[in-house]
Structure 1
Amino acid sequence: MKAPNKVKVFAWRVIQECLPSKQNLLKRKITENANCPFCNFPIEDCTHALIKCLDTRKVWQRLMPNIYELNAASTILDVALQMLHRGDEGLLSRFFLIAWSLWHRRNKWAIEKVMLDPFQVANNAINTFKPCLQARVEPSYTMHKTGCWQVPPHGFYKLNVDAALFFDLKKAGVGGVLRDERGEMVLAMSKAEHELHDPESVELVAILRGLQFILQLGIRKIVLESDSLLMVEALKANQDSLSLQGNMLKEVKNMMNCFEEKKVQHVCRSGNQVAHTLAKHAWSIPDVELWMGLVPAFLSQVYWLDSQNVRVENTL
């Protein structure tokens, strides 16, 4: 996605449903109700705040009518996946840029009681970052039209990783699962990570931990999949990163070079459910749990769904 880093981080937090919406604040017992500060709808989650509130729907109706026409059951994740499946990176960037501006407006009212015009903030954001929206680049990862997990090509293993943040526990969780060309689980891991609060860092740590666990298995060909588009693009970039995660990125790239053949690619959340479940499991463990060739009970349902929906990936 071609967008400023702060918008990319915002997009990640939206998909993870970890913005401080009224619903999330109520869960953490920071507020006494989950009502929308604009329309007083009883539950303000990320989807309501950004695309369902009457105030925001007017903006989408004018600036992105295709979003406005989505049925009432759609979540913000559904909307993002729909645009990803179209393969239009500019459309996805525009969507999250407008959503980011609307969230800024929401905070101005909820926190400072300053009411801003929704069309004005959206248009200001579009005009400010217009070069990002106009610059269209080809995706640097394989875009799959289906939302199911896919087995790796013949002779390859596939490592899926994911991360989850537990703000109330002041820790994060990472999960990884390694499967062979038949879709059989070789290894699964769930690990708690402490003092990690940055979404970008924890996604990168998930990749790092996954590689650390499988390097000792002597695997020669690997496909690495993550649902963090930002991290996938960072790993595929040729130049060194100057970000705070630069050293860790370099370490991950060095570890990937230990394989004879490797591929890093993005996968949508619906194709990464096993790793996501493993990451969420980390909230209940003090350090790490590891399974070799055995599917744990809490993972059996999502693992079974993957096996029923699996589709063979023909090419790298």
Structure 2
Amino acid sequence: MGLFRSKVVPNPRCDNCDSAAEDSLHALWTCPALCQTWTTTTKVAEFRNKSYNSLYDLINKIASSITDLALELFAVVSWSIWHNRNQARLHPPYECFAQIGLRARAYLQEYLEETKQEKKEKSCQPQVGWRPPELHCYKVNFDGAIFKETNEGGIGMVIHDSLGRVNATLSQKIKSGHSVEMIEALAAKRAISFTLEVGLCDIELEGDAEIIIKAITRHELPHNAYGLVLEDAKALLPLFQHYLVSYTCRSGNTVAHALARQALHIHSLLVWMEEVPPDILHVLSNDSLVSSL
């Protein structure tokens, strides 16, 4: 109805069924064409047998009657229907109604899988610390950070030898804002390229972003923006004589994390050879203490 009042569309009737005026409740719920969409969401479909005064009434009834996960699915399906509705008007062709619910379920599942990373990090045991690499190998730890206050990001990395001695450290500011995954992907790529610049050939690449580590080690990369960055990063790995990619908890990556946070206070890029910035020496000392236990 709002589009009709704004003279965006010539009449107020629903484009999908042409049987009723299209208000928000009809567009997202009561339109007969949506039957195929909502039947794929079993916990919500049963509510279609009842009548509601408004979309607000519908949401209240659903929110008070189903689990949080089912409510999340309801929200994603609703957004998908609305998006598909706009797509049909502005950029045809659009997705068929039978596929909307299935696609929404896939979106939600992907989101839940990716957010498991944070929960796993919190479940890591606090005594897990940094461990040195094998003899004649160098461990390259990397991390990323986001500075919401400045809409910037930071990259940090540190290279240790098998005796735990620091070979090089780097702290770099990323000017434009990115997602957490993109910052971590950029950090991984920068860690690999910087290690090549230093001239090392036998490395273990280690980070605490599980989604990034898994993506690097899998054959197929995610089809998104940070996946393209990781594709470039993976292309550099064969330039080493030997490499290993591994995951660690945040407590095993504290120096790289501190260097990533350090980027907030620098202009662009700082590199230290065989040392770390003085203000994070205590972090390095704690790492060394834990690794010796």
TM-score (norm 2): 0.59
Residue 286 (structure 1) aligned to one of 263, 267, 277: 267
Match of 1:305 in 2: 286
Q: In the TM superposition, what whole-angstrom CA distance separates every residue of 1:208-230 from its partner, at most 9, and x where no partner exists?
A: 11122221222121100111000
Q: Say whether 1:203 aligns with 2:184.
A: yes
- Alignment length (residue pairs): 192
Match of 1:180 in 2: 161
What percent identity do the matched residue pairs reach?
A: 27
RMSD: 3.1
What's the secondary structure of 2:173's corresponding residue?
Answer: strand
1:110-121 equivalences under 5 Å are 116-117=63-64, 120-121=67-68
Gapped runs of 5+ residues in structure 1?
A: 1-111, 134-143
From the superposition, tell whether residues 224 and 113 of structure 1 become closer, same or farther in structure 2 (CA, over 3 Å): farther
Match of 1:261 in 2: 242
Q: In the TM superposition, what whole-angstrom CA distance separates every residue of 1:138-195 from its partner, at most 9, and x where no partner exists?
A: xxxxxx9751100001121000000110111111001000000001000001000011
From the superposition, tell whether residues 124 and 208 of structure 1 become closer, same or farther in structure 2 (CA, over 3 Å): same
Residue 241 (structure 1) aligned to one of 222, 228, 233: 222
Q: Is the 8 A contact 2:62 2:71 kept in 1?
A: no
Q: Structure 1 residue runs of 4+, over 3 Å off?
A: 112-119, 122-133
Q: In the TM superposition, what whole-angstrom CA distance separates every residue of 1:111-157 from its partner, at most 9, and x where no partner exists?
A: x9999449721465699689889xxxxxxxxxx97511000011210
What's the secondary structure of 1:245's corresponding residue?
Answer: helix
Q: In the TM superposition, what whole-angstrom CA distance separates every residue of 1:80-133 from its partner, at most 9, and x where no partner exists?
A: xxxxxxxxxxxxxxxxxxxxxxxxxxxxxxxx9999449721465699689889
| CA distance in structure 1 between the partners assigned to 2:292 and 2:188 by the alignment | 24
| CA distance in structure 2 between the partners assigned to 1:232 and 1:131 by the alignment | 20
Instruction: Report the structure number with the largest CA radius of gyration.
Output: 2
Match of 1:276 in 2: 257
What's the secondary structure of 2:141's corresponding residue?
Answer: strand
Q: Which amino acid is the alignment partner of residue 264 of structure 1?
A: V
From the superposition, tell whether residues 257 and 311 of structure 1 become closer, same or farther in structure 2 (CA, over 3 Å): farther
Gapped runs of 5+ residues in structure 2?
A: 1-58, 75-104, 113-123
| CA distance in structure 1 between the partners assigned to 2:237 and 2:65 by the alignment | 45
Q: Which amino acid is the alignment partner of residue 217 of structure 2?
A: K
From the superposition, tell whether residues 174 and 117 of structure 1 become closer, same or farther in structure 2 (CA, over 3 Å): farther
| CA distance in structure 1 between the partners assigned to 2:152 and 2:60 by the alignment | 32
Match of 1:60 in 2: none
| CA distance in structure 1 between the partners assigned to 2:278 and 2:60 by the alignment | 48
TM-score (norm 1): 0.55
| CA distance in structure 2 between the partners assigned to 1:114 and 1:301 by the alignment | 55
